[in-house]
Amino acid sequence: MTNSQHSGSVSSDVSPWLGAQIQKVIDGIYRKYKDVDDGAVATYIPELGKADPKKFGICLATVEGEVFTAGDWDTEFTIQSMCKPFAFQLAMQRHGTEETLRHVGVEPSGEAFNSIEFDQKTGRPFNPMVNAGAIAVSSLIKQKPVQAGIEEFVDKMSDAAGRRLRIDHAVLASETATGNRNRAIAYMLLNSGIIDDEVHETLHQYFAQCSMLVNCKDLAMMAATMANIGNQPLTGKPVFDFQYLKYVMAVMFSCGLYDYAGNWAFEVGLPAKSGVSGGIFGVVNRQFGIAVYSPKLDAQGNSVRGILASKELANHLGLHAFDFSNVGSTFVQALL
């Protein structure tokens, strides 16, 4: 286990040659896309509109705890929908898979993140990556008092990131003030018996989860913790119960980028999740976590430079799950 961070230098666990190659790829992608100016910063949560559109950061963290960065990797932003896979994991850890799936499905919806469509047959939200499903999941992980559930979430995420994380209270207030569509979704879920009548508490849990601050390195480390069978690469701490991670990654793979999920699976080929703050993170199982941040979004609410950079990263390093050069945890060794 090491605690090395690169930006141009080479490492000890990953061979110096491979470390230099990875850093070169990341630097090249940063340079290639740093002037792309397409898309628009999300403003439907007014506080998000204050993000600096020029920010662009990339981070790759290995399961050995080595970190490669470029650009604004340490700029903080709220995790937004990227909290959803982790909340789903915690729901299954607390209630088991069967009970969790009584409240939320695992079917891609092909709909936008804030869709008010439910599975006609079961009344459940389609999956835990759309807001409706995430609200159902928040209902399952909330506690009494509600602050305890929020603290447990932040504690777990801090364990995965390897540093203390915190809520951005200005964003939380902004989300709460403007979240009427989510409120409507929650009352629909109450009406069909998917969530209990503590609607205010459930929404507070959901809004707080979305308002937690992270940077690219945190997200890459959290993804590397997933890739590392649930153990934090640097601290060695067991954070996630590995038996549920395969389910979380499967849902990320099929639903993580909403109505762009099919294209993403085709071109990038990684379990991943995006958020309206402009972050995207992906998991290369047993190898890496990757994260990109750039706040300007496309029409589907995904980061424009985040998608471009992820595609290129996956192509250059052969990260696509079905790429023949990606042979699971032996990929790194194969290049040594």
Q: Does 301 bind ligand DON (CB under 6 A)?
A: yes
Alpha helices by DSSP H, listed for 102-215, are 131-141, 146-161, 169-178, 180-191, 199-210
Cβ-proximal residues to 212 (8 Å cutoff; 6+ apart), any chain? 78, 79, 83, 153, 154, 157, 165, 166, 167, 168
Torsion 32-36-41-42 (CA) sign: negative
**Which residue's CB is nearer to ligand DON, number 22 or number 261?**
261
Segment interacting with ligand DON, rule: CB under 6 A, options 87-95, 98-106, 269-277, 327-335: 269-277
**Which residue's CB is nearer to ligand DON, number 68 or number 126?**
126
The correct pick among 174, 274, 285, 287 for binding ligand DON (CB under 6 A) is: 274
The correct pick among 25, 29, 210, 307 for binding ligand DON (CB under 6 A) is: 210
Binding residues for ligand DON, rule CB under 6 A, total 12
Q: Does 141 bind ligand DON (CB under 6 A)?
A: no
Restricting to residues 11-70, which ones interact with ligand DON according to CB under 6 A?
none
CA dist., res. 284 & res. 227, Å (int): 6
SS3 content of the chain, % helix, strand, coil (to 5): 50, 10, 40
Contact of 85 with 256, CB cutoff 8 Å: yes
SS3 label, residue 293 = strand
Q: Does 182 bind ligand DON (CB under 6 A)?
A: yes
**Which residue's CB is nearer to ligand DON, number 171 or number 284?**
171
Phi/psi class of residue 65: alpha, beta or left (left: φ > 0; alpha: ψ in -120 to 50)?
left
Q: What is the DSSP string of 239-289?
A: -S-HHHHHHHHHHHHHHTTGGGHHHHHHHT-S-EEE-TTSEEEEEETTTEE
**Which residue's CB is nearer to ligand DON, number 130 or number 290?**
130
**Which residue's CB is nearer to ligand DON, number 136 or number 317?**
136
Q: Does 276 bind ligand DON (CB under 6 A)?
A: yes
The correct pick among 11, 23, 69, 80 for binding ligand DON (CB under 6 A) is: 80
Could you tell me whether strands 296-297 and 77-78 are parallel, antiparallel, or unpaired per DSSP bridges? unpaired
Segment interacting with ligand DON, rule: CB under 6 A, options 88-96, 99-107, 264-272, 273-281: 273-281
Q: How far is CA 259 from CA 51, 116, 144, 330, in A?
A: 24, 14, 35, 32
Residue span 229-268 as binding mask against ligand DON, x where in contact by CB under 6 A, dash where not: ----------------------------------------
Q: Which residues are catalytic?
A: 81, 84, 206, 258, 276
Residue span 97-136 as binding mask against ligand DON, x where in contact by CB under 6 A, dash where not: ----------------xx----------------x-----
**Which residue's CB is nearer to ligand DON, number 80 or number 100?**
80
Q: Which residues bind ligand DON (CB under 6 A)?
A: 80-81, 113-114, 131, 175, 182, 210, 274-276, 301
